[in-house]
Amino acid sequence: MDTRYRIDDVGEVLTPALVVYPEIVDANIAATLRLLGGRAERWRPHLKTAKLSFTMRRLVHHGVTHFKCATSLELLTACEAGAGDVLVAYPVVGANARRVREIAEQAPETRVSALVEAEEQIAAWEGGRVGMFVDINPGMDRTGVDQRRCDAIVDLVRAMAGRGPSFRGLHYYDGQPALGDLERRESLAHQGYDRLLEIVGEIERAGFPVEEVVTAGTPALLPSLSYRGFRSASFTHRVSPGTIVYGDLTSLAQLPAAGFAPAALVVSTVVSRPAPGRVTCDAGHKTVSADAGVPTCAVAGRPELVPGRPSEEHLPIDVPPGSRPPELGEALYLVPRHVCPTVNNFDHALLVSNGRIVGVERVSARGRETSFPGRRA
């Protein structure tokens, strides 16, 4: 196993445990900034991955001050961590919208924006500090205005004029080119960006400047950076990958030569050897998320071990013939297939440097705020 991941006193750790390696976090941030030509202002990472105020502060330390988030708790944590600009990249309505507006009023040093896809949503932001991005549906059919409905997008921007603080730009999360080789992903992404530039042109011809366009989670990062149309655009273009701050099996496969490494692992303990060729450790799907499929993880330093289908608290692992089976009580270091929801499974993270536990950090933006405003802590 890579010696960077060792914990000298791992026998004292209650498992399963989330472990974050600050030096590797910093190295992953630096690798991202290299891809961006050193321009930290081009990165608007999604904080659904970072979750820890500690990690958000590391990003700010490296000059990254623009963020995306999905929940009011992530927004609140980002503001407290020194964010200069946060886009709530999730359709908030009703009480959720009122809470976003409340946080924005309480954090005047942070510029806050929200997504809008229908005219009736504009009223939530009138007379306040929250700016507006039009959410465009690039074909995922998850949220947003269909990218083929250019007239509807222009009409929505027009409806924003004179209401609320501002129309700021377009949000275009193109998560669909996640499969296949880079050439195929690039081709799919660039077709979408051609259409996106047509939309920008129509908005500008209608008399409305577009300040910013946000694209690209981790799967479309490289295609977004290689698209020539963004290089001479009238707007600021930002990319929004968040997973690469910690890295996981999926993002490392999508960006194999970019210099990223896993920075958040789960330490588990072998608790049973129920049958020949099988052990079980304490890292079921309540620990390592199973949303991305099976296997949910890989065992660092033991690539021959094959994690199976987890239950809530149990993770069975198959041991091939001829391989050394882990001992009862042995610690296994697991690299998640999808790190974002895995981090969200934990209340605290251990910070480890040079084999030593150097701190314990709360997973500050885990879960959500108290649902009933009158009882909010």
**pLDDT of 141-182, one tens digit each?**
999 999 999 999 999 999 998 776 689 999 999 986 666 678
pLDDT value at residue 163: 73
pLDDT tens digits for range 54-74: 999 999 999 999 999 999 999
2: number of Cβ within 10 Å: 11
pLDDT value at residue 327: 97
pLDDT value at residue 185: 85
pLDDT tens digits for range 285-339: 999 999 999 999 999 999 999 999 999 999 999 999 999 999 999 999 999 999 9
pLDDT value at residue 164: 62
Instruction: For the chain, give the longest Cα–Cα distance.
Output: 72
How much of the chain, in percent, has pLDDT values that exceed 70? 97
**CATH 2.40.37.20 in the chain, residue ranges:** 3-16+258-362
Q: Which of 335, 297, 341 is nearest to 317 (CA)?
A: 297
Q: CATH classification of 44-240 is 3.20.20.10, yes or no?
A: yes
Distance from C-alpha of 133 to C-alpha of 223, rounded to nearest angstrom: 22
CATH architecture of 3-16+258-362: Beta Barrel (2.40)
- Confidence grade of residue 376 (pLDDT, cut at 50, 70, 90): low
Average pLDDT of the residues of the chain? 95
pLDDT above 70 (res 374):
no
- For 313-328, b/e burial (b = at least 16 CB within 10 A) is ebbbbbbeeeeebbee
Q: What average pLDDT score do residues 31-37 get?
A: 98
pLDDT value at residue 252: 94
- For 131, 174, 274, the CA distances from 116, given in Å and listed in that order, are 10, 17, 53
Residue 257 main-chain phi, psi, to 5 deg:
-115, 15
Q: Are strands 66-69 and 278-281 parallel, antiparallel or unpaired?
A: unpaired
pLDDT above 80 (res 263):
yes
